[in-house]
Structure 1
Amino acid sequence: MSVCLAGVDASERRGGWDPDADGRRAGLESPIRTVLESHTSSLTAADRLTLVPDTHYPFHPSSGMVTDPAVVAALVDHLEGRTSADIAVAGISDDRIGFDRTADYLGYPTILESTDATLVDLADESRRNRVVSIDGERVSLTVPERLLESTVVVVPTLRPTEDGPVAGGMRTLERFVSSVDDSELTALAATRAAEPVLTVLDATTAYGGDPVAADTLLAGPTPQVDALASSLLERSIADDSALENAFGVSVPSITVETPNDGVSVDVDSLRRRLPKGELPPPDEMHPAVTAAYRLYATVSGDAVPPQLEQGP
């Protein structure tokens, strides 16, 4: 199995975050076309396409902790030019915040308004029971019907999870299913139930203890992309039960394709550039966040969240 890497031209950005989402979107046209080239037939044959990005509050796309909506919009642009399929961008509400608020915060309604793609909250979707066998163990889960009835493309970010392993496509899908089984088995079971046609990993901005402009897109089968992402963050597959169960006892052999028709990507150089840290503790807030939110609360009259009350 192969994973395609394509670089993103960041010459106009001059090293900083570009707040112009449409500008970022335009710069992604060529690398999106490159990484999707070998998957064109399976994508254009679909009647319904569901893109599943990494969307959770309260992170900004510049943090590397959520998928950049510009990547998703560029995917939609590419697909709408080649298929008449119904395209949806899926998220899910949780017990803390509704998906509509998260989508608004990240800017999805604005950047998708020029497309026919719809935003869907899979918390509102009908679900079906599925039983998936993993290494002889039966994993029961409930899955939104849309993920079972459409062609799925997962669009995660290059970052670790709170527990340390790579987030990736499998754990992005895990958020959408319900199961009483072990989380690592659930992530793999969710992937096998939804059967994504591919994963497009947004590594335009990555996170590994600090955000870094990695300016790269990866695309390929979900487990293989997750394995390569794990390698880039210098995580061991042996320490990742989801990946270990996906591949069995053998270390996966992954061919990395780096096309020469755009911005080149050197895998070893990219690996060296990525920070090797963990996620910040959930109970520690950066002082800049505290100060910014207090300013917002003063102007808007909104309440300051309790976790920010103790800041400097």
Structure 2
Amino acid sequence: MAGRTMPAPPAPADTTDERPRRAGRPPRTGGRRTRRDRWTGLALSSPAWALLLFAVGVPLVVAAVTSLTDENLVSLEARSFIGWQNYVTEVFTPDFVSALRVTTLVIVLSVVVQLPIGLGLALLLVKPLHGKGALRALISLPMMLTPVAVGLVFRFVADPDLGAVRWIASLVDDTWQPNLLGTPWGALGLVVVVNSWINIPFVTLLLLAALVGVPDDLYEAAALDGAGRWRTLTRITLPSIAPVLAVTAALRVAADYRMFDLVFIITRGGPGDSTVNLSMLAYQESMVNFQLGRACAVAVAMAVLALPFYWFFNRMMRA
């Protein structure tokens, strides 16, 4: 009819996929662009990978080859290939088992001491306190000192004749003369104490950074629900910082596994061989007995024993 407008044609149906994407999956991009980005990232990181392979791979290969020879620093004759003899005479022995036991004890005792104290200090520093900045600087002071200097100081403190431990014991009993360096457990405990004194600030700072990132809403909700301090700690704080706590423990285990400087300065592996760990055993074979082949066998065995731990640490970092 005249004057009546015709209705607009219906809009074409939207043929795009309206299905919701799976949570956590990024939008799909073109394969060519993704492949190009991967090659670009590989090209940019190749210098770093080459330097890493050269710095880590070459010493490992040299150590592995040397461990199969009778090379030493005494004989002028050319080294000869002896196969697995160094591993039989050095690795599969009671001395290596004892060094592995000492290494494990140092790792376990150090982690048991460092993590709880570091967590306690981090929980203290995360609260509003007067002079918190000065307290943080004071706690971080041991981390700034070299392990050699700290080891020398604590060795003098534990000296049975002139040390502070002897003087403190004399205040209690004049006849009491403790000799920490003269007993296996005393020397091992001193190494653990010094190691913990140096590294507790590192643990504290890592856990403090994790605690700062915990949302305040969780604590407010817990307070409204009437949760106490212990329940808040176990149900909110620890689960929230669990990844950082696990990574911190892994870093400390890796560092204590290869510890050498503190053992060398404080105990020299004594009394007897009671504090000889794996690194100290490799040092004794190379620089005391001049048997480079045996020392490299110990080093290769250490690397092999560390592989499962580093695999677990890598999985934990990806989680």
* TM bracket (short chain): under 0.3
Could you say which structure has the higher strand fraction? 1
Query: With CA pairs under 8 Å and 6+ residues apart, which has the higher RCO, 1 or 2?
Result: 2
TM (normalized to structure 2)? 0.21
Could you say which structure has the higher helix fraction? 2
Structure exhibiting the larger radius of gyration computed from Cα positions: 2
